[in-house]
Amino acid sequence: MNEGLQSAFSGLAEQGGMGASRVTLWRVGSLLRAIADSLEARFNPVSVQGEISGFSRAASGHCYFSLKDEQGQIRCAMFRRAAGLLDFAPGDGQLVELRGRLGVYDARGELQLVVESMRRAGQGTLFEQFLKLKARLEAEGLFDASRKRPLPVMPRAVGVVTSLGAAALHDVLTALQRRAPYMPVIVYPSSVQGAQAPAELCQAISRASERGEVDVLLLVRGGGAMEDLWAFNDEQLARVIVAAPMPVISGVGHETDFSIADFCADLRAPTPTAAAELCVQPRDAWMNLLDSRQERLQNGVDRQLESLNQRLDLVAARFSRPSHFITRQQARLSAQAQQLKHAASMALSLARADLTQAGDRFPKAFSAAVHEQNARLENARRHLELLNPKLVLKRGYAWLSDAEGSTITSATQPVLGQALRATLVDGEVDLTVSARRLI
């Protein structure tokens, strides 16, 4: 590309009569248009492949980014019409093929590529590494929400891991000073960009963990291209964040930037300033809470005092006028006496009514009881009559007994010549056994 520009400038020199004896004096705009015409004639249309960096989409729908490889980069602009034809969402780290026209952006005098079409050429190297590491750590459970810890409501101190010269540190300190000027802040300095940054970030977090000085740790850095934020995609850094004893808030880059540190941290903030705002409650909120609690306490004390004052006034009124107190007590006693008298009268009336009813029921109940007992006696008499032995004797039977009065019930009992007595219905007959015959 540099050789092409040199050729274009050589053509311009020839057209303008550049030589040892005469130099053409250009106006800036004319010179830029002449360069643009040379680029148009020499290169356009042009197709180029590279990796997207610093991609942004304006509110108008136009897209602006850089296309780069290991040897250089070029600014690109893709207007809304062309961007509307895309079938994918461009992003940093993507490897793409562009077709467009080289030109000069007059307002800045910069070389730019106006992109007319874009298609994916595969993932960029950095982005591919990012996705692979993200998938592996996610499979290990480093991103699980159940592992992440809640932030303390009132931390003892706040730690900040960032570069001492970074704008992010100024933003964080400004936000903390505004929201919670009473909060101690401890800075653990570290590089945030470059080959040495991952190791220094790990050391800074480990140092904060060993000291135990802070209850929450902010890991912050300002925005930048994907390669600028690459230190926060380090695997060892991710594991150190997870192992930290205190909650870690990641505020790396802008809201659209994501890093492995964001997924491992206990909370991701879109910006460093937002990270500072998330870690502490504003002083006004605590003051409002204290005012509210003080008002509730004061109201409770006032109500209690009012109640006690009323009781005191009542007691004072009683002692200041004892006659009124005695009169009230007499009235209460009189009312209770009337209640007792009325209750006794009602009880006596009910008892009289019960006695009258019992007196009315007694003759009938007594007569019924006597009749029932007579019936029972008559029934018993009849049973006794049925058991009388004379009824059996009347039917021609006799009762045999020996001289001692023992009953003879079998022909085997008496002996020959034994004297027996036969009791009949109307008397007794003495008998002598002369013979025995068994049936």
CA–CA gap between residue 205 and residue 371 (Å, rounded): 112
Task: With beta carbons less than 8 A apart as the criterion, state whether 83 and 57 touch.
Answer: yes
CA–CA gap between residue 355 and residue 347 (Å, rounded): 12
Residue 102 is predicted with a pLDDT of: 86
Residue 6 is predicted with a pLDDT of: 47
* Cβ density class 292-320: b for 16+ within 10 Å, e for less: eeeeeeeeeeeeeeeeeeeeeeeeeeeee
Instruction: Give the residue extent of every domain in the chain.
Output: 2-122, 129-281, 285-338, 391-432
Task: With beta carbons less than 8 A apart as the criterion, state whether 247 and 267 touch.
Answer: yes
Copy the structure tokens of residue 275: 């990270």
Please indicate whether the domains covering 2-122 and 129-281 agree at the CATH topology level: no
Residue 17 is predicted with a pLDDT of: 45
Q: What is the DSSP string of 82-127?
A: HHTT-SS---TTEEEEEEEEEEEETTTTEEEEEEEEEEEEEE-HHH
Considering just the CA atoms, what is the radius of gyration of the chain in Å? 60
pTM for the full model? 0.45
CA–CA gap between residue 230 and residue 253 (Å, rounded): 11
Residue 395 is predicted with a pLDDT of: 78
Of the candidates 81, 85, 16, 74, the residue with the CA atom closest to the CA atom of residue 49:
74
Q: Return per-residue pLDDT of the chain as tens, 439 residues.
A: 444 444 444 544 444 444 445 677 877 777 878 787 777 777 778 889 999 999 999 999 999 999 998 888 899 999 999 998 887 888 888 888 899 888 888 777 788 889 998 988 755 667 778 888 899 999 999 999 898 999 888 888 999 999 998 888 999 999 888 888 888 999 999 999 888 999 999 999 999 999 999 999 999 998 777 777 888 999 999 999 999 999 999 999 887 778 899 999 999 998 999 998 888 877 666 566 677 788 788 888 878 888 888 888 777 766 666 667 677 788 888 888 888 888 888 888 888 888 888 777 888 888 888 888 998 998 988 888 777 777 777 777 888 888 888 888 888 888 888 888 888 878 888 888 888 888 7
Bridge partners, 120 (sequence order): 96
Residue 286 is predicted with a pLDDT of: 59
The fold adopted by the segment(s) 2-122 is OB fold (Dihydrolipoamide Acetyltransferase, E2P) (2.40.50)
CA-based max dimension of the chain: 201
Is it true that the peptide bond before 152 is cis, omega within 30 degrees of 0?
A: no
Bridge partners, 249 (sequence order): 218, 267
Which of these CATH numbers, 3.40.50.2300, 3.40.50.2000, 3.40.190.10, 1.10.3720.10, describes 129-281? 3.40.50.2300
